């Protein structure tokens, strides 16, 4: 039980700190960096960025309400389809005062994927879409994006 509490504490601090730092560095950087998605029957519209971390890449999605966010980790290698394995995507739900409401991970469904349809190296952005699901209690929650455009962010 102590290990479980320690693990969730680490995740909370990691997602709060890293995502907060990245978002504040990126906010308003590229006005056409955007996405639209339906997550648990709610429409999400906001900004997104492809972040090159030390050992992997991640696309961060920030809806306009700025409370929740979504992170999809991948080994980026250009245009193509990337499988979203079990726990490769994390949806973090927070309330307005940064109180963590929950972290939900992709459930390993074989249809979970992120597709990069355009990779513009010169202008440093990718375009694509994603679909994945996660489990919430006994319910399967679907998440689907019809489009995103994510500019590059390199962590220095």
Domain boundaries, the chain: 2-154
d(CA 33, CA 131): 19
Percent of the chain having pLDDT more than 90? Answer: 47
Predicted TM-score (pTM) of this structure: 0.78
| pLDDT tens string 68-109 | 889 999 999 999 999 999 889 999 988 877 788 889 999 989
| pLDDT tens string 23-34 | 444 444 556 789
């Amino acid at each position: 039980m102590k290990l479980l509490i320690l693990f969730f504490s680490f995740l909370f601090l990691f997602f709060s700190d890293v995502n907060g730092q990245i978002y504040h560095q990126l906010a308003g950087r590229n006005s056409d960096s955007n996405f639209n998605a339906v997550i648990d029957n709610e429409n999400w519209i906001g900004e997104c960025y492809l972040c090159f971390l030390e050992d992997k890449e991640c696309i961060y999605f920030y809806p306009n309400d700025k409370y929740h966010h979504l992170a999809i980790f991948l080994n980026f290698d250009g245009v193509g389809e990337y499988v979203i394995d079990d726990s490769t995507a994390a949806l973090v739900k927070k309330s307005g005062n940064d109180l963590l409401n929950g972290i939900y991970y992709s459930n390993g469904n074989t249809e979970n994927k992120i597709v990069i349809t355009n990779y513009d190296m010169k202008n440093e952005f990718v375009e694509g879409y994603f679909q994945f699901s996660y489990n919430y209690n006994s319910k399967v929650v679907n998440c689907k994006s019809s489009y995103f455009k994510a500019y590059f962010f390199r962590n220095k």
